[in-house]
Amino acid sequence: MSLDLKPWYVTGTSVVQSCFVCGCEEILFVDTSGQARIFSLITQQFRPASLSFEKLPFGLHSSPDGACLVLSFRDGEQSSVRAYHWSTFGSSQGIDLDPFDLPNAPTILTSFVNRRNVHLVAIDIDAHVCRSVVLDITKKTSEFMFKETGVKSVAKSTTKITSNNSLIDCFADVWTCFPVVAAVQRRTIVSSVARKPRKLVFVTDRDHDKFAPHFSDLMYEFEQRTRKPTGDVLKSMQVSAVPSSPSFPGTLFNNPSKLSQFRAGEWLVDLLCLIPIQIAVTRENRFLPLKDGVTSAALERSLLGADVGQIVDALSLGWYESVFQSYMTSKPVKVVSSMGEQSVGKSFSLNHLVDTSFAGSAMRTTEGVWMSVTPTDDALIVALDFEGVHSIERSAQEDTLLVLFNTAISNLVLFRNNFALSRDITGLFHSFQSSSTILDPASNPTLFKSTLTIIIKDVVESDKKEIVREFSTKFQKIVEEEQDANFISRLHAGQLNIVPWPVIESRQFYTLFHGMARLLDEQEITHNTAGEFLHTLKTLMAKLKANDWGSISQTLVGHRAQKLLGGLSNALTFGLFEVEPDAESLKNFDTDKLIEKEDTAAQFFLSTPDSPATQREAMLMALENSFDQFGHRSSTVDAEWFKNLSAYLEHLAELRIQHTCSCMDIV
């Protein structure tokens, strides 16, 4: 936000200091003439009241409780402090505070525990000491209380045991926002059979006996409040406190029997799968894939006029690239996605279904498309979290592009709906119907294989049947009007579920996630390997960016053929796909497995317009020298020797050709 203050100041006067008025949308400005005025960000005007100083303050602070302004003045080596109440700003002379035993250094005004405990703090750099003075600030105020008439009020005496346990209580916040035991759990670390119980050790010099009981109470209150399934995860956690000592880290980490040991690769993949990545956004009616989760103007400029193949080669999914392309490339992939209106719990539901950690809140936090991965024993579960449809920030075309991408790549689409606010089904699914006419499912047999599951949130038990009946009737009307062009048949192969979902923190809320997990397990696998899925995902995003509405199957084949053609020369010459900067063997690009067909280490010559004749002769000589009978030419009849040499060279060439063809056939 920019402020134009020129009309409020005469020429030659400028602002030298400023601070916000705590609790208000106002800013205090001090100019070079020594005048202090309050500017309102709402009215875009200065208040009429002002203060004038003989000399400019050294520092100015607004108290955290919003009561007063505290100014510091310096006179040589001496400093003084004066306070002004905001409520009497401009009509009082201020209050001069007694001299403080504070270093002659810049100060800050802050609070501890609550906003009324205000401290003026300064740092003595020479003495390596931080000093503070508590300010007792009083102000006139009125207290209001809501009280029901006819009910006696009883004063409850409570003994507050603790005042600030944020470093401990934050665990309950994490358990509330993210799953403790998800319906589909990550199974990345499979090699550790001796995993130790989780331990939480607080290093502190006091109250060692209070941490475990407090943590136990925290767990109990959390379970009673949220009714989340926790299994034995929380109960098995060992909580303790130890005093701080130089030997503490060594005694903990030098005893392997107390620590879990993992394979580095499994542990690293498990960590990476906790981090979602943004893969695409929509802006100005365009679908924009991201490289490594970052919006790049340079990338957009480089892709101007690029075809689909060039866009595919430019895309990268950051840390998930190696998971799909190498580490778990042979595993099949299932895709579950979450769509719906804003602030209906899309991210929260996806987290508790497939053990992801998408950010979510009452405010709009998801923009575009975010991706996370949950490895399981049987497959990789790819979770896609979409921003809310019908947003005021997005056009109808942008909604359509997001829906098209979602329905094309997913196996299970979860569409959350607030039934109390949105009963216009036709309008709500307009973007689905619009996207059904863009890509032809018949021309893209590997896409549009998802089941659409409409989740109606906050439904009480008595309304379930009626709500399902109402939704079914409205969808039946859409099918009758659109006939074979209806989006349910075209985008979801006629697969539709309507699920009334109970209110949060009810006993049934979390049990339904296991039903969704079973539904996901029943979905047909359309992405046989992670490598194949990665290629399909990038190609689909590239086609949406390039507005290419042709068959994706033809695009996939064309791009792969183009890639193979680029490596054909190296494959025939060296038996490698890449030679520089690092040698890369021929492999199956969908599974990352090396071609096991027998090959030779020999190098062959391929004639090109730029190849010198001397290179041909040198490589032929090298092949002849590798012949095991090369040194016996003088003792062998020429006709027989040349016949054996020709057979040897033909055998080497046949090995190389078969090795190269094996790569082409697999791909």
Q: What percent of the chain has pLDDT over 90?
A: 18
Q: Mean of the pLDDT values across residues 507-521?
A: 90
Q: CA-CA distance, 386 to 338, in Å (whole number)?
A: 6
pLDDT for position 143: 47
- Candidate from 123-132, 251-260, 619-628 with smallest mean pLDDT: 251-260
Please check the confidence at residue 520 and state whether its pLDDT lies above 80. yes
The band of 505, judged by pLDDT with boundaries at 50, 70 and 90, is confident
For the segment 100-129, what is each residue's pLDDT rounded down to a tens digit? 777 777 888 888 877 778 888 888 888 888
In 3-state terms, what secondary structure has residue 46?
Answer: strand
Nearest 5°: phi and psi at 83? -120, 145
Q: CA-CA distance, 278 to 366, in Å (whole number)?
A: 9
Q: Both tokens of residue 381?
A: 């579960």
For the segment 224-252, what is each residue's pLDDT rounded down to a tens digit? 888 888 888 888 888 988 888 776 666 66
pLDDT for position 58: 85
What is the per-residue DSSP string for 327-372? ITTTS-EEEEEEEESTTSSHHHHHHHHHT------SS----SEEEE
Rg of the chain taking only CA atoms, in angstroms: 35
Please check the confidence at residue 151 and state whether its pLDDT lies above 60. no
pTM: 0.65
The band of 542, judged by pLDDT with boundaries at 50, 70 and 90, is very high
Q: CA-CA distance, 368 to 381, in Å (whole number)?
A: 20
Q: Mean of the pLDDT values across residues 421-440?
A: 69
pLDDT for position 662: 73
For the segment 334-351, what is each residue's pLDDT rounded down to a tens digit? 999 998 877 788 899 999
Query: Going along 21-117, which residue ranges are E strands?
Result: 26-31, 35-40, 45-52, 59-62, 68-75, 78-85, 95-96, 107-111
- Candidate from 175-184, 306-315, 654-663 with smallest mean pLDDT: 654-663
Nearest 5°: phi and psi at 314? -85, -15
Identify which has the larger pLDDT, 55 or 608: 55
pLDDT for position 54: 86
Please check the confidence at residue 142 and state whether its pLDDT lies above 50. no
For the segment 279-338, what is each residue's pLDDT rounded down to a tens digit? 999 988 889 999 999 988 888 888 888 888 889 999 999 999 999 988 888 899 999 999
pLDDT for position 490: 82
pLDDT for position 140: 61
pLDDT for position 252: 66
- The overall average pLDDT reported for the chain is 82
83 and 95 Cβ atoms separated by less than 8 Å? yes
The band of 550, judged by pLDDT with boundaries at 50, 70 and 90, is confident
Domain 332-526, what architecture?
3-Layer(aba) Sandwich (3.40)
CATH class of 6-135: mainly beta
Identify which has the larger pLDDT, 201 or 152: 201
For the segment 292-304, what is each residue's pLDDT rounded down to a tens digit? 999 888 888 888 8
Please check the confidence at residue 375 and state whether its pLDDT lies above 60. yes
* Domain extent listing, the chain: 6-135, 166-264, 332-526, 581-666
Regarding beta strands 26-31 and 496-500, do their DSSP bridges make them parallel or antiparallel, or are they unpaired? unpaired
Q: CA-CA distance, 21 to 373, in Å (whole number)?
A: 45
Residue 660: CA count within 13 A, CB half-sphere: 21
For the segment 458-483, what is each residue's pLDDT rounded down to a tens digit? 888 888 888 888 888 888 888 888 77
What is the per-residue DSSP string for 246-274? TTHHHHHHT-GGGS----HHHHHHHHHTT
* End-to-end CA, the chain: 54
- Candidate from 154-158, 359-363, 525-529 with smallest mean pLDDT: 154-158
